[in-house]
Amino acid sequence: MKKTTSIISMSLLAASLIVPSVRAYADDDNPPGNHRQREALRHDQRELQELKDRRHDELREGDKRDAREYQDKIRDKRNEIRNDRREIYGNDHDRRYGWDRNGRHDRDRDHD
C-alpha cells in the first residue's frame, strides 16, 4: 500500500511539472504579428547591433565625429524598433518591459 501511494504521489508531481511546460509551447504556435513583421523586427535588431559595433570601432580608433553620427543612427533605429514592437505586440508590451509612454526607460520600475 505504501509503495502504491508513493507511485501515485510521484505521478501527480510529474504531471504538475509537465502541464505548465506544455502550455508554454502551445502559446508559441500563434505568436502576435505576421511572419513578415517579425522578420523585419529581427532584421532591424541585427542592423542595430551592427551600428553599435561600428560605433564601438570608431570610438576605439578615436574618431568621435563618426561615432556621434553612428549614435544618431542608433537612436533612430531604436525608435524604429520600439515602434515596430508596439505595432506587433501592442502598447502593453513596452510597459511590461520597462518603457513609459514617451519611449523612455522607466528606471523606477526596475527597482520595485
Per-residue pLDDT tens for 64-111? 999 999 999 999 999 999 999 888 888 765 555 555 555 555 555 544
Q: CB count, 10 Å around CB of 58? A: 18
3-state secondary structure of 105: strand
Q: Which of 17-21, 41-45, 102-106 has the lowest mean pLDDT?
A: 102-106
